[in-house]
């Protein structure tokens, strides 16, 4: 990989991480405004969206949240006390805890999900612009025609640069 390619790779990764962080900050702020912690919001989303049935086990939630089971147990207990989720033991295996949303939890999740739609579209645009730029390279075209994928990182267009000042960043994320 050449120095130019390395610089472009670093720039792409920086823009990608910046877009992710802005999304996470937005999400955390909206969760708190809705009266839940960011972790509770993610828990609600995991129950409703990660599992097909709208009911999840502690192990499934631990995978979704990328946390240890015992951490998820505490999060579920606190969410149950707040009236966001309901816990019950599985009829098939009494050792297994099943977690589902309460009407209150579902209402909060739906409101937050609607608020997130525009921000998801903005982040998607940054990611897609990088992916589309990769598709424009001659190497990518020839590999795509052959049915292969490339890891070439020489985009012809870049996502918008991060704001040049910390003040602008704070204005955009507050």
- Give me the count of residues in the chain: 174
The pLDDT-based confidence of 158 (bands split at 50, 70, 90) is very low
Contact 131/149 with Cβ under 8 angstroms? Answer: no
Domains and CATH numbers, the chain: 1-32+116-174 (no CATH), 34-101 (1.10.10.10)
Spatial distance between the Cα atoms of 142 and 140, rounded to a whole number of angstroms: 6
Spatial distance between the Cα atoms of 145 and 60, rounded to a whole number of angstroms: 39
Calculated CA dihedral for residues 40, 46, 48, 53, nearest 10 degrees: -140
Would you say residue 150 has pLDDT above 70? no
Closest-CA residue to 11 (of 170, 155, 123): 155
Contact 100/83 with Cβ under 8 angstroms? Answer: no
Helix (H/G/I), strand (E/B), else coil: 82: coil
Which tokens hold the place of 141?
């075209």
Contact 5/153 with Cβ under 8 angstroms? Answer: yes
Alpha-carbon radius of gyration of the chain: 21
Other Cβ atoms less than 10 A from the Cβ of 119: the count is 16
pLDDT digits (tens, 9 = 90+) for 46-68: 999 988 889 999 999 999 999 99
Question: Would you say the pTM of this structure is higher than 0.85?
Answer: no
pLDDT digits (tens, 9 = 90+) for 88-140: 999 999 999 999 999 999 999 999 999 999 889 888 887 777 666 555 555 55
Spatial distance between the Cα atoms of 82 and 7, rounded to a whole number of angstroms: 48
- Structure confidence at residue 43 (pLDDT): 98
């Amino acid at each position: 990989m050449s120095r130019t390619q390395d610089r472009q790779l670093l720039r792409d990764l920086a823009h990608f991480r910046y877009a992710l962080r802005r999304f996470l900050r937005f999400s955390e702020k909206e969760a708190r405004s809705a009266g839940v912690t960011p972790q509770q919001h993610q828990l609600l989303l995991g129950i409703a969206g990660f599992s097909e049935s709208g009911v999840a086990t502690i192990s499934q939630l631990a995978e979704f949240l990328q946390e240890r089971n015992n951490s998820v147990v505490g999060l579920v207990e606190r969410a149950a006390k707040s009236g966001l989720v309901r816990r019950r033991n599985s009829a098939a295996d009494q050792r297994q805890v099943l977690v589902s949303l309460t009407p209150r939890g579902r209402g909060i999740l739906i409101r937050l999900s609607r608020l997130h739609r525009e921000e998801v579209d903005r982040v998607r645009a940054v990611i897609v612009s990088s992916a589309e730029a990769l598709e424009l390279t001659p190497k990518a075209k020839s590999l795509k025609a052959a049915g292969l994928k490339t890891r070439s990182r020489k985009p012809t267009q870049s996502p918008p640069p991060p704001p040049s000042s910390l003040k602008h960043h704070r204005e955009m994320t507050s």
